[in-house]
């Protein structure tokens, strides 16, 4: 026993600790650890876990937002591209319509000019025919008048020339 008592008592030169004090210190330390685990370590770990979950959720949300933003940007670019293509198509259609309208107007103007020219040529031909008919009528009338005068009197060459000159003057005055 003495050995046991000697083992429990550590030499006074070392510090003089006794076994009971050591057991009390160990038990007190274990109680302190249990209390720390229950009141400090547990809530601290819970807070750390909540913080970790919150950060993970924020990262997931940020990733989703980034993916949605990229998708929205792609869609906006596609819409812009489609709008540009539509605008280009509208411009091309307008150019085609303008060219077609220009061709139609030119054709209509050419047709109108051809009709006016044909109408003018027909008017000129009718007027020419009228003038020829009028001239033929006058010539016939003059011929009859000359023949009547010649028959009424026989004339010599001088009288005949004078008679023709008079009739020409009369015709000139009538016109």
Q: Are 146 and 155 in contact (CB under 8 A)?
A: no
pLDDT at 5 over 50: no
**pLDDT confidence band for 3 (50 / 70 / 90):** very low
* pLDDT tens per residue across span 28-86: 999 998 888 888 887 888 889 999 999 999 999 999 999 999 999 999 999 999 999 99
**173/166 Cα distance (integer angstroms):** 11
pLDDT at 1 over 70: no
In the chain, domain spans: 17-174
- Sort 163 into a burial class: Cβ within 10 Å, 0-12 / 13-18 / 19+: middle
CB-based contacts of 159, cutoff 8 Å, min separation 6: 153
pLDDT at res. 66: 94
pLDDT at res. 39: 85
pLDDT at res. 62: 94
| Entry pTM | 0.40
Supply the DSSP symbol for 153: S
pLDDT at 8 over 80: no
DSSP string, 4-57: HHHHHSPPTTTT---HHHHHHHHHHHHHHHHHHIIIIIHHHHHHHHHHHHHHHH
């Amino acid at each position: 026993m003495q050995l046991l008592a000697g083992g429990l008592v550590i030499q006074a030169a070392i510090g003089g600790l006794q076994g009971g004090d050591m057991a009390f210190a160990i038990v007190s330390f274990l109680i302190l650890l249990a209390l720390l685990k229950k009141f400090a370590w547990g809530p601290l770990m819970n807070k750390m876990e909540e913080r970790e979950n919150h950060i993970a959720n924020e990262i997931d949300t940020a990733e989703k937002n980034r993916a949605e933003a990229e998708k929205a940007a792609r869609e906006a670019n596609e819409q812009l591209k489609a709008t540009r293509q539509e605008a280009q198509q509208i411009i091309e259609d307008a150019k085609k319509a303008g060219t077609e309208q220009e061709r139609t107007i030119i054709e209509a103007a050419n047709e109108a000019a051809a009709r006016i020219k044909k109408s003018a040529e027909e008017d000129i031909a009718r007027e020419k025919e009228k003038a020829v008919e009028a001239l033929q009528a006058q010539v016939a009338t003059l011929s009859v008048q000359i023949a009547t005068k010649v028959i009424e009197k026989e004339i010599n060459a001088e009288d005949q020339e004078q008679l023709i000159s008079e009739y020409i003057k009369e015709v000139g005055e009538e016109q």
